[in-house]
Chains A and B, each alone.
Chain A
């Protein structure tokens, strides 16, 4: 009998991803619910071959997130990733060649600065762009609701290489260092503050047969967030190489991966795992401490992988490429969680981490996000959330959402308790001892499993108590407080 039902995928956690494709469209894919099936929710832009997106960069902030895309016609656009509005446009000047014709020179690298360059008053963003022929630009463009083609914006230009073709570039987490490499260009690292080259790689010696493979880097990334000295690169000779800039110029580790050129490399949060995608659609994870292949991601992926993105909280990665599918994988078990068909050859994928499942419920989503922000800011964030954020950085963050939901449940139950307390006000006034008993009963029945220690000496002063309780309603701080410590409701009587 024919199989009538499709093979089921486990579904992925709540997730929002943006993809760009060769027709210049930006598609938003969202997954809702606990085991959501991702769907295309929005498509921005007009299909046009000349506006093919070559590179994209995403600044993943809670407020004012921004997506920058570099198109084939030389325009770099800043989009609002929430609603797709264009916020700023700039044209990359393609240098004229000697005979006066435009060079066939495309943007290959684009980076949107997240930590610096966003000055609130002037509302401008800094961009690093890099062209195929080796011209790198560092410029800031104004961002406004009415974008105009700003060519007057200040920029710093330098030349990364004199010959060859740049294919890959990357900027580290602290955004002080940039990495370039390509066909005939050894991997080199630049200090963006001084615009000077600080390190360049050296090609490995020819092998024992005397065969020397020419330099051709196709993908590169920084290995860990806090260390700019470790760099992972992929070559066309299907090698994955680890460079340590503080140790030597030749690769520390070099491992082969199958037989197609490495097309995408993406680092994990843990600082040693990298995800590697190649030209025939194989995706694998490597432990770069030992250079060991951890395992392959198997899921009928038939086309070259162009881009991989790691979710900052969940252990989830997204990959896309020429087979026009966006695939979401579990980073730990290497299982395919789900795949979405997006109809065009995809070039880039970015993940919006500040998306929560109950986006449609509005308020709760914001609360949750606020809590996260508080937790991330460190300082006085609630303990439990802080630990949650810690665990997220170590890759166990799937519990975060669950914890928050739990907290909200507790809040509801507490509120129920409070309501019941309100009901018994007259009785309280009649007999304090009766009330004490009753409250003990309620607390034991309503919030079991949660350490609510309602003090037995509940006395009442209705006005003061109510005002105190109202502030509980929707204030995220107090929610946090409730979630954090063993909640002790102490309704005091102040005569």
Chain B
């Protein structure tokens, strides 16, 4: 590769050099480039930063992406199953349970999930069928059921069932890091957290986002400074839990000007610091079922099929 380039340079060398020298002369005589000014403050507006092309921002055009001017979308939102919770007519109440056999990381994860989601209650699974549990939860006015499924003592799937009439989302859970494994982690308070949902763009994404939103109370205590983030990137939903703090910090003084210096003493710069509280995990949607959990007779709103993977730039959320 390098050799080839060198050869070509030799062949065309003389011409290119001439061209370059001419260009240099021109620039010396004529306009000054902004990078040639040594005093950085005197430089004019820097050239616009180029946006790197990523798989994410070159995704295939999808007609199901929601637009803010779509009235039908809002009408659909008003009619959907999460509307009651999101309009704060009902406070969310979550039942968390597991699969039948549950040990080591499973209970630890549930412990942390209980601290993340306010008004969440853990019930032992016992030997009940999931349909019975759903029925029980409906009678007890729960709004959602979360089932943590673990395989080989490692949580590997998350099932979220919205009550009373669906939908049911089945996620793959991976890269679980518990709180104690995070360096410099904080311990969350029991304030109601703020919720950040990033990048849920399509209709399906919107629906999943609203479903996640309905797990949390809609009136956060901003004093608690707790943030729960669900960030969607290439159909993977990253969960993070942080605490933030605003810190007043004195501004660095560069200029030699004395007048400015005296000013700066009074001025203070506010910076925000984040502290991760954990847990940390990644979700990927496997399917979204219409209605509550029904593995036999249920119909799906969305199922991933291999034939849909026509391109690595095609995303569904």
Contact = CB atoms under 8 A, between A and B. Distances in A.
A261 B290 contact: no
B34 interface: no
Given A47-B75, A341-B63, A261 B297 contact: yes
Given A281-B305, A343-B203, A344-B76, A304 B297 contact: no
B288 to A, nearest CB: 9
B297 A47 contact: no
A22 B80 CA distance: 10
Contacts of B53: 2
Given A23-B79, A47-B79, A343-B76, A2 B300 contact: no
Interface residues of A, number: 31
B302 to A, nearest CB: 5
A15 interface: no
A6 B304 CA distance: 20
Nearest to A340: B63
Interface string B285-297: 0000010000011
Interface stretch (A119-127, A295-303, A429-437): A295-303
Scoring B63, B64, B300 by chain A CB atoms within 10 A of each residue's CB, the highest score goes to: B300
B33 interface: no
Contacts of A302: 300, 302-305, 308
A281 B307 contact: no
Given A22-B79, A322-B290, A341-B64, A2 B301 contact: no
Nearest to A304: B299
Nearest to A342: B72
B280 interface: no
A323 B64 CA distance: 10
Interface in B122-154: none
B305 to A, nearest CB: 7
Contacts of B61: 6
B240 interface: no
A227 B301 CA distance: 36
A3 interface: yes
The size bracket of the interface on B is: 20 to 34
Interface string B58-92: 11110110000010110110110000000000000
Contact of A300 (B79, B203, B305): B305
A3 B311 contact: yes
A236 interface: yes
A47 B313 CA distance: 34
B310 to A, nearest CB: 7
Contacts of A279: 297-300
Contacts of B299: 260-261, 263, 279-280, 303-304, 322
A303 B300 contact: yes
Interface in A291-317: 298-300, 302-304
Nearest to A237: B296
A343 to B, nearest CB: 5
A345 B64 CA distance: 13
Given A304-B299, A345-B301, A7 B310 contact: yes
A25 B313 CA distance: 33
A122 to B, nearest CB: 38
Contacts of B310: 7, 300
Nearest to A281: B303
A214 B200 CA distance: 41
Contact of B60 (A2, A23, A49, A323): A2
Contact of A303 (B70, B73, B296, B302): B302
Interface in A1-59: 2-3, 6-7, 22-23, 25, 47-49
Contacts of A303: 299-303
Contacts of B297: 216, 236, 261, 279
Q: Report which residue of A216, A302, A323 has the largest number of chain B beta carbons within 10 angstroms of its beta carbon.
A: A302
A304 B64 contact: no
B315 to A, nearest CB: 12
A302 B76 CA distance: 20
Contact of A324 (B78, B79, B203, B290): B203
Contacts of A324: 64, 203
B290 A298 contact: no
Contacts of A49: 78-79
Contacts of B298: 260-261, 279
B76 A23 contact: yes
Contact of A280 (B300, B311, B313): B300
A48 B305 CA distance: 32
A137 to B, nearest CB: 27
A261 B203 CA distance: 25
Interface in B44-64: 53, 58-61, 63-64
Contact of B300 (A3, A298, A299, A322): A322
Interface in A324-347: 324, 341, 343-345
Residue among A48, A216, A263, A281 having the largest count of chain B Cβ atoms under 10 Å: A281
Contacts of B308: 300, 302
A23 B303 CA distance: 23
Contacts of B305: 281, 300, 302
Contacts of A216: 297
Contacts of B203: 324, 343
Nearest to A49: B79
B53 to A, nearest CB: 8
A303 B204 CA distance: 11
Contact of A48 (B70, B79, B300, B311): B79
A23 B300 contact: no
A7 B301 CA distance: 23
Contacts of B296: 236, 261
A163 B30 CA distance: 93
B290 A343 contact: no
Interface string B207-250: 00000000000000000000000000000000000000000000
Nearest to B63: A341
B297 to A, nearest CB: 5
A307 to B, nearest CB: 13
Interface in A249-297: 260-261, 263, 279-281
Contacts of B79: 22-23, 47-49
Interface in A341-377: 341, 343-345
B75 A322 contact: no
Contacts of B290: 304, 322, 345
A196 to B, nearest CB: 31
B307 A300 contact: yes
Interface of B: 53, 58-61, 63-64, 70, 72-73, 75-76, 78-79, 203, 290, 296-305, 307-308, 310-311, 313
24 contacts: A2-B60, A2-B313, A6-B60, A47-B75, A47-B79, A236-B297, A260-B299, A261-B296, A261-B299, A279-B298, A279-B299, A280-B299, A280-B300, A300-B305, A300-B307, A302-B300, A302-B302, A302-B303, A304-B290, A322-B302, A324-B203, A341-B64, A343-B72, A344-B72
Given A6-B61, A25-B72, 12 more contacts: A2-B53, A7-B310, A22-B79, A23-B76, A261-B298, A300-B307, A300-B310, A304-B299, A322-B300, A322-B302, A324-B64, A345-B290
Interface of A: 2-3, 6-7, 22-23, 25, 47-49, 216, 236, 260-261, 263, 279-281, 298-300, 302-304, 322-324, 341, 343-345
